[in-house]
């Protein structure tokens, strides 16, 4: 294959490590290059992930996690991973170079395989799956084209870890959220549920079905509609007689293809033993469930972080995480940051104690002197006084008032300064000093109430203006995120201690959580703050609260797509648009016109109307729930963000921006897409946009529940 400008870019970027020889092939997910590894003089295959699939950091991190895990596997029937890396916005994986054909090609050549041929391939691959599952991992992309047959007849399992890119960054799998054809997905994948080792076993059952019959059992009019058939779980019959399939093998294949995961083989090792024995064999005790992938570990760490009561708790949680997660998420840096915050907090506590000491002296002095006397005496001191001890002893209240007034003058200046190097630190100090001072004045029993009122009138109150100053400061775009990070962290810690008792605190807390999730830790599952978790009271761990049911909108939306949207004729026509038409009319233009809120009677309008009809029909049922599961998060009905409401101009504008933003990234990768791939990419993009649309749909149709 000839090189393009992008191919030359690859060659230049990797020149110090690899000598790229030629482009071996293009796929919907990656390009594969033949190369020589410099220094080792070793022939390798370099798989370059399409940049359009790695447009968020969390996806890249997950890919690295699984690729690194694959590199640790040692099995003769799993392709060897030599290296995984990222350079100049290129994500790549370096693999052993194989010579031969894949199983899909062999089936096309031979029509179908004999039983002995099938066993020679499936037993080693089942053994390879056992190795993967024993390391608490899943492959997630078992299919005939990912099983390679070398010229010596050795079957090799390919592409472990690449399937990371087939799932959305939100952690849910929408029907069709798969690069390429979805014929090998399990019903739980098709229905958007989490997958485990049983899903790999199901997919291998599909491959065995294909080997014996020459065809996969499920095929639809489009990549998305195929999943409708898969989700129903009704497997077509294999003609045992004409295909000469022995009963024992038929039973094994059908067990792999059971709709429910618990009805399949308990492990890949059980499948291997059954193939060897030519009868179904199962262990008497199901193996202990393992973490299917790193998502479970990340979710568990995130939960602990959300429930932590102190910085020390967070540090201990991060230190207790797995080595690979610590490496990929750079947790050592985060631990170092938390230690610096802890030191900063200590300094703030010292400042607090200084303010408290000053205040205590002031109050003791007030008990023996009138406020007028203190103020009159204070006027006799110059600002350049020399006797500090005398000044503190006899004029502490004046000192405190003056100090607070200086802080009050500082707040508006922070919002207009061009240089914010120290603004954040000063701001936090101001907040702590003011709040501690005011609380101390309020809590002490003064001799004269008039004196107390006069003191308070001369100090800065935590009033609406001060609250707005905090909000404005955090929202200020001129302040770098690194500057905001300690503010957000410490304010959240303060609110956690004080509790959310006022509308002010709730507003501030919501803002802090949004900033944390959307800016400081964008697309980062590990450090995401879940509003529903953060609102729970974990101060009494033994306290058992009645758990109210939550509406799983992921499932509702998947059903809406499968049972109604994909069956609409206009939608079918769109998804089956031929490659020539797409090329003539522009891929981006066709997709935009179908999903844009600015166009009437298009796919966007069809789906939104179907969603509203569903909500109206199920309204009484939905009212039995007090929260909604959306993606991996749980929301109460009153937590919905109006910015996602498609009944408003703001919601429509945001959705339109989401479409354009994604299509802009796709436009930059147009040279990677061949004419033959255009319909596949159209389907891929549709699934991505539908996944994005889920949040808009939920917050539009459920807002009145």
Cα separation of 170 and 629, whole Å? 12
Single out the residue of 349, 364, 348, 350 nearest to residue 444, CA to CA.
Answer: 364
Q: Which residues contact 59 (CB under 8 A, 6 or more apart)?
A: 53, 164, 165, 169, 523
Nearest-10 Cα torsion for 490, 493, 494, 499: 150
Report d(CA 580, CA 561) in Å as an integer. 27
141 labelled catalytic: yes
How far is residue 593's CA from residue 261's CA, in Å, rounded to a whole number?
A: 40
Contacts of 488-491 with C-beta under 8 Å, sequence gap 24+, read 488/512, 488/515, 488/516, 488/520, 489/341, 490/341, 490/344, 490/345, 490/348, 490/428, 491/431
Long-range contacts, 288-291 (Cβ 8 Å, 24+): 289/196, 290/133, 290/134, 290/136, 290/197, 291/136
User: Tokens for 487?
Assistant: 């503010």
In the chain the first and final C-alpha atoms are separated, in Å, by 57
- Strands 633-636 and 18-26, bridge-based pairing: unpaired
- Measured at the CA of 497, the angle between CA 492 and CA 499, to 5 degrees, comes to 85
Determine contact, residues 454/371, Cβ cutoff 8 Å. yes
466 touches 411 (CB < 8 A): yes
Question: Cα separation of 538 and 657, whole Å?
Answer: 39
Give the residue from 477, 475, 480, 492 showing the smallest Cα distance to 527: 492
d(CA 174, CA 189): 8
Find all residues with CB under 8 Å of 240, minimum gap 6, and list them: 246, 247, 250
Q: HSE of 643 in the Cβ direction (CA atoms, 13 Å)? A: 5
With 0-12 CB in 10 A as exposed, 13-18 as middle and 19+ as buried, what is 544?
exposed
Catalytic pick from 141, 295, 633, 645? 141
Cα dihedral sign, 483-517-300-130: negative
Q: What are phi and psi of 680, to 5 degrees?
A: -60, -45
Which stretch of DSSP H or E encloses residue 150? strand 147-150
Query: Shortest CA distance to 249 belongs to which of 113, 54, 85, 422?
Result: 113
Sheet holding 30-37, edge to edge: 18-26, 30-37, 42-49, 90-96, 81-87
- Residues with a known catalytic role: 141
């Amino acid at each position: 294959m000839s090189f393009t400008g992008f191919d030359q870019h690859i060659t230049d970027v990797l020149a110090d490590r690899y000598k790229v020889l030629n482009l071996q092939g293009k796929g919907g997910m990656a390009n594969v290059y033949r190369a020589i590894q410099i220094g080792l003089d070793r022939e390798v295959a370099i798989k370059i992930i399409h940049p359009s699939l790695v447009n968020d950091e969390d996806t890249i991190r997950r890919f690295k996690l699984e690729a690194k895990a694959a590199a640790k596997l040692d099995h003769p029937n799993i392709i060897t991973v030599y290296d995984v890396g990222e350079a100049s916005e290129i994500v790549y994986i370096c693999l052993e170079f194989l010579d031969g054909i894949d199983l899909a090609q062999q089936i096309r050549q031979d029509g179908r395989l004999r039983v002995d041929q099938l066993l020679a391939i499936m037993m080693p691959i089942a053994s390879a799956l056992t190795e993967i599952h024993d390391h608490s991992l899943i492959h997630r992309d078992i299919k005939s084209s990912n099983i390679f047959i070398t010229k010596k007849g050795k079957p090799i399992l390919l592409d472990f870890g690449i399937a990371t890119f087939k799932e959305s960054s939100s952690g849910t799998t929408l029907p069709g959220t798969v690069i390429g054809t979805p014929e090998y997905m399990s019903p739980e994948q098709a229905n958007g549920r989490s997958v485990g080792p049983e899903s790999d076993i199901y997919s291998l059952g599909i491959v065995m079905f294909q080997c014996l019959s020459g065809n996969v059992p499920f095929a639809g009019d489009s990549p998305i509609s195929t999943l409708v058939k898969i989700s129903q779980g009704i497997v077509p019959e294999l003609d045992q007689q004409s295909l000469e399939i022995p009963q024992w093998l038929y039973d094994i294949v059908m067990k792999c293809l059971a709709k429910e995961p618990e009805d399949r083989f308990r492990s890949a090792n059980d499948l291997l033993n059954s193939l060897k024995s030519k009868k179904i064999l199962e262990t008497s005790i199901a193996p202990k469930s393992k973490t299917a992938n790193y998502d479970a570990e990340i979710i568990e760490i995130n939960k602990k972080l959300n429930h932590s009561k102190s910085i020390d708790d967070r540090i201990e949680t991060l230190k207790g995480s797995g080595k690979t997660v610590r490496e990929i998420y750079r947790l050592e840096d985060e631990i170092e940051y938390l230690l610096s915050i802890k030191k900063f907090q200590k300094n703030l506590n010292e400042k607090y104690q200084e303010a408290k000491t000053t205040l205590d002296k002031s109050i003791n002095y007030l008990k023996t002197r009138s406020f007028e006397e203190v103020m009159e005496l204070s006027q006799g001191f110059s600002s350049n006084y020399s006797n500090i001890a005398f000044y503190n002893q006899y004029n502490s209240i004046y000192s405190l008032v003056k100090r607070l007034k200086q802080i009050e003058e500082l707040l508006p200046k922070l919002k207009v300064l061009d240089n914010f190097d120290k603004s954040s630190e000063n701001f936090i100090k101001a907040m702590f000093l003011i709040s501690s001072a005011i609380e101390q004045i309020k809590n002490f029993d003064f001799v004269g109430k008039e004196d107390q009122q006069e003191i308070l009138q001369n100090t800065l109150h935590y009033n609406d203006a001060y609250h707005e100053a905090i909000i404005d400061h955090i929202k200020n775009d001129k302040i770098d995120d690194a500057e905001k990070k300690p503010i957000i962290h410490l304010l959240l810690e303060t609110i956690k201690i004080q509790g959310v008792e006022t509308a002010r605190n709730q507003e501030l807390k919501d803002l802090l959580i949004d900033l944390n999730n959307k800016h400081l830790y964008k697309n980062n599952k590990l450090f995401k703050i879940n509003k529903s978790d953060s609102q729970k009271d974990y101060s009494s761990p033994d306290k058992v609260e009645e758990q109210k049911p939550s509406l799983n909108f992921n499932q509702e939306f998947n059903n809406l797509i499968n049972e109604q949207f994909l069956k609409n004729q206009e939608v079918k026509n769109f998804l089956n648009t031929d490659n020539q038409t797409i090329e003539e009319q522009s891929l981006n233009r066709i997709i935009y016109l179908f999903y844009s809120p600015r166009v009437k009677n298009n796919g966007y309008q069809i789906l939104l109307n179907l969603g509203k009809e569903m909500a109206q029909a199920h309204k009484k049922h939905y009212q039995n729930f007090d929260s909604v599961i959306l993606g991996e998060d749980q929301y109460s009905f009153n937590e919905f963000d109006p910015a996602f409401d498609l009944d408003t101009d703001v919601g429509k504008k945001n959705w339109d921006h989401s479409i354009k933003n994604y299509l802009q990234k796709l436009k930059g990768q147009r040279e990677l897409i061949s004419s033959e791939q255009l319909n596949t990419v159209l389907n891929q993009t549709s699934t991505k946009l539908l996944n994005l649309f889920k949040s808009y749909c939920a917050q539009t149709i459920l807002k009145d529940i």
